[in-house]
């Protein structure tokens, strides 16, 4: 593959004297130092006991080549841009070289998968290299995903395919710019090796190019890291992990004690509730909300068969593995978030010594979600606040209408801001009234025959409500445009970036990534990236349906 121009420019034009090449950073390993290690170093699949992690190095790959580099993340870390696609950065971030000071490890965790206890899972293909103190003094872990087998790989190969690595790299950055808490990504490295995957588990395995993402987050610890210690009654290990996480990531809570553990749990509930409101706001469907994929910091973590809602449908999930039960469908996410924090509460009971404070703290999940979601809906509609039953009805009727004919959620809200609300608007005929919203509907015919009059009636109510607020129209639009992104990582856009990259062309990825850095801005030269999903993408693999195979 041709190395991307952006990954190779020697100077980023900012004259950043404080940036240093990756090997010159100082690496720390507080997780490894503070927590119980697996005493066995044999890198074979096995059940590990009484440990929070196993020390394991990445497995080298044939020909690591840098495919993409996130300047913002590297600048945050104080790292300068690589000058060669196959230089030291590709060696380190492809897993071929461990730098002095790094103590790589795979974390041990368990989880509930699709509602059932799954026992030990762990980092089966993710290896944390080390921690660095960023320019802003915050601590970040560098973690390679797809870096080879670990004791937690079970029967799998420890690798990741290019398509899934591209999707993680792009989406985590897109989420960051949308203002959604998330892990981030520094680099995407092609391994020069193939990985065999049966994309739809239908007996058609295929060799695909492999790639490794370097993920960046203050911590990758999940609910499942606590669950495993609780499940195996490793109470000392459970306490050490909780104390470490509180000390490093929640220092404001003070010295750990039963009361502090309960307050900490309450904070996790709040963050998780807030995260769900964000996902619902931007139309993101995680796809696999197992408890091993829930971050203890309330970040979006583990981008797998995720998707972006196109036609509004609460029952939609991109994950074919979940097509039957639809447990992790868009509209179920807030409910599943609650189910997941309850599982975490169960794991923390031994620390608090009593269920009651945890049960009380659980209320913070629902309260935070409800408050944030209400505020979000108000912002999405351009109201100063949602008030009373009439507003609730207006919102419910809107969602009902959006479901009645296939309506692109992102475009609907974005276009709603352009509906004129001055006095003359109500007297317009139905057709002119709905005109600004037309391009949000997937079928013109269905829209015209089924919808115009109903939508116009709803819009008249909406306009009347907007006028009650007496917010000037420009201010209403501004409020709406900050809550309603124009550009999201539509499923087919990610697939186009993948298809091009598989042919050695990184220009689509670079263009989409740069547009997604300003998702709330109108970018007239990139209007087509904000269009409805094209019809050819409706049933194309990767553009509408995905499996866990990655």
- In the complex, which residues of this chain contact Mg ion (CB under 5 A)? 293, 302
Rounded to whole angstroms, the Cα distance separating 221 from 36 reads 15
Q: 314-333 burial, b if ≥16 CB within 10 A, otherwise e?
A: eebbbbbbbeeeebbbbbbb
Instruction: Indicate whether 278 belongs to the interface with ligand AMP (CB under 6 A).
Output: no
Binding mask 141-160 for ligand AMP (x = CB under 6 A): -----------xx--xxxx-
Choice between 302 and 322, CB closer to Mg ion: 302
Closest among 366, 349, 458 to 405, alpha carbons compared: 458
Residue 235 interaction partner, one of Mg ion, ligand AMP, none, beta carbon < 5-8 Å per kind? none
Stretch that binds ligand AMP, among 22-30, 92-100, 122-130, 210-218 (CB under 6 A): 122-130
Among 121, 246, 269, 352, binds ligand AMP (CB under 6 A): 121
Rounded alpha-carbon distances, angstroms, from residue 23 to 125, 329, 493, 501: 23, 43, 34, 27
Closest among 88, 343, 396 to 224, alpha carbons compared: 343
Q: Which of 57, 123, 292, 322 is catalytic?
A: 292
Among 82, 304, 318, 334, binds ligand AMP (CB under 6 A): 304
Residue 159 interaction partner, one of Mg ion, ligand AMP, none, beta carbon < 5-8 Å per kind? ligand AMP
Reduced to 3 states (helix: H, G, I; strand: E, B; else coil), residue 58 is: coil
Instruction: Indicate whether 382 belongs to the interface with ligand AMP (CB under 6 A).
Output: no
Reduced to 3 states (helix: H, G, I; strand: E, B; else coil), residue 130 is: strand
- Kindly report each contact of residues 442-451 with a partner whose C-beta sits within 8 Å and lies 24 or more positions away, as own/partner: 442/310, 442/311, 442/405, 442/406, 442/407, 442/408, 442/532, 442/533, 443/405, 443/406, 446/405, 446/406, 447/405, 450/404, 450/405, 451/401, 451/404, 451/405
List, in order, residues 6 or more apart from 267 with CB less than 8 Å away.
250, 253
Q: Are 322 and 328 in contact (CB under 8 A)?
A: yes
Binding mask 42-81 for ligand AMP (x = CB under 6 A): ----------------------------------------
With 0-12 / 13-18 / 19 or more C-beta atoms within 10 angstroms meaning exposed / middle / buried, residue 179 is middle
Residue 532 interaction partner, one of Mg ion, ligand AMP, none, beta carbon < 5-8 Å per kind? none
Q: Is residue 392 annotated as a catalytic residue, yes or no?
A: no
Choice between 91 and 293, CB closer to ligand AMP: 293
Looking at beta carbons, which residue is closest to ligand AMP? 124
Stretch that binds ligand AMP, among 121-129, 358-366, 383-391, 396-404 (CB under 6 A): 121-129
The least distance separating Mg ion from the CB of residue 35, rounded to whole angstroms, comes to: 20
Among 21, 87, 124, 192, binds ligand AMP (CB under 6 A): 124
Task: Give me 396's structure tokens.
Answer: 């419910």
Instruction: Indicate whether 123 belongs to the interface with ligand AMP (CB under 6 A).
Output: yes
The least distance separating ligand AMP from the CB of residue 302, rounded to whole angstroms, comes to: 5
Choice between 6 and 550, CB closer to Mg ion: 550
Reduced to 3 states (helix: H, G, I; strand: E, B; else coil), residue 196 is: strand
The least distance separating ligand AMP from the CB of residue 124, rounded to whole angstroms, comes to: 2
- H/E run at residue 119: strand 116-120
Closest among 402, 477, 474 to 440, alpha carbons compared: 402
Choice between 96 and 293, CB closer to Mg ion: 293
Instruction: Indicate whether 451 belongs to the interface with ligand AMP (CB under 6 A).
Output: no
Instruction: Indicate whether 273 belongs to the interface with ligand AMP (CB under 6 A).
Output: no
Choice between 127 and 466, CB closer to ligand AMP: 127
Tell me the catalytic residues: 292
Residues in touch with ligand AMP (CB under 6 A)? 121-125, 152-153, 156-159, 288, 293, 302, 304, 548
């Amino acid at each position: 593959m041709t190395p991307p121009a952006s990954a190779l420019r020697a100077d980023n034009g900012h004259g950043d004297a404080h940036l240093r090449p990756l090997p010159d950073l100082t690496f720390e390993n507080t997780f490894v130092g503070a927590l119980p290690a697996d005493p066995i170093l044999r890198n074979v699949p096995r059940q590990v006991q009484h440990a929070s992690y196993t020390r394991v190095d990445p497995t080298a790959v044939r020909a690591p080549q840098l495919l993409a580099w996130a300047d913002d993340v590297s600048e945050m870390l104080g790292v300068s841009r690589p000058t060669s696609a196959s230089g030291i950065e590709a060696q380190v971030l492809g897993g071929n070289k461990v730098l002095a000071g790094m103590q790589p490890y795979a974390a041990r965790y368990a989880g509930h998968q699709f509602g059932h206890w799954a026992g030990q899972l762990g980092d089966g293909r993710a290896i944390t290299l080390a921690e660095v103190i960023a320019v802003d003094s915050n601590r970040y872990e560098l973690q390679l995903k797809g870096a080879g087998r670990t004791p937690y790989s079970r029967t799998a190969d420890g690798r990741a395919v290019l398509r899934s690595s591209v999707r993680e790299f792009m989406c985590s950055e897109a989420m960051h710019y949308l203002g959604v808490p998330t892990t981030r990504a520094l680099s995407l490295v092609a391994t020069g090796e193939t990985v065999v995957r049966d994309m739809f588990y239908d007996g058609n395995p295929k060799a695909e190019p492999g790639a490794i993402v370097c993920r960046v987050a203050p911590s990758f610890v999940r609910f499942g890291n606590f669950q495993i210690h609780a499940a195996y009654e490793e109470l000392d290990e459970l306490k050490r992990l909780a104390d470490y996480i509180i000390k490093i990531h929640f220092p404001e809570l003070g010295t750990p004690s039963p009361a502090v553990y309960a307050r900490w749990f309450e904070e996790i509930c709040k963050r998780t509730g807030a995260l769900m409101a964000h996902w619902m706001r931007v139309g993101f469907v995680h796809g696999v909300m197992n408890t091993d994929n829930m971050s203890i910091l309330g970040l979006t973590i583990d981008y797998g068969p995720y998707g972006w809602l196109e036609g509004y449908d609460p029952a939609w999930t991109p994950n074919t593995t979940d097509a039957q039960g639809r447990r992790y469908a868009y509209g179920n996410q807030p409910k599943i978030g609650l189910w997941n924090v309850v599982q975490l509460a169960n794991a923390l009971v031994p620390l608090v010594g009593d269920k009651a404070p945890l049960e009380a703290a659980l209320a913070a999940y629902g309260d935070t979600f409800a408050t944030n979601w209400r505020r979000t809906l108000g912002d999405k509609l351009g109201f100063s606040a949602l008030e009373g039953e009439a507003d609730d009805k207006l919102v419910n009727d809107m969602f009902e209408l959006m479901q009645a004919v296939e309506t692109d959620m992102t475009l609907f809200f974005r276009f709603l801001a352009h509906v004129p609300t001055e006095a003359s608007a109500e007297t317009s005929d139905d057709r002119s009234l709905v005109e600004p919203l037309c391009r949000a509907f997937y079928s013109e015919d269905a829209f015209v025959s089924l919808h115009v009059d109903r939508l116009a009636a709803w819009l008249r109510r909406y306009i009347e409500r907007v006028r009650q607020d007496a917010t000037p129209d420009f201010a209403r639009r501004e409020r709406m445009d900050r809550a309603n992104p124009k550009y999201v990582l539509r499923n087919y856009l990610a697939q186009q970036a993948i298809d091009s990259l598989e042919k050695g062309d990184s220009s689509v990825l670079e263009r989409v990534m740069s547009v997604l850095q300003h998702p709330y801005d109108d970018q007239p030269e990139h209007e087509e990236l904000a269009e409805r999903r094209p019809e050819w993408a409706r049933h194309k693999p990767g553009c509408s349906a995905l499996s866990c195979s990655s």
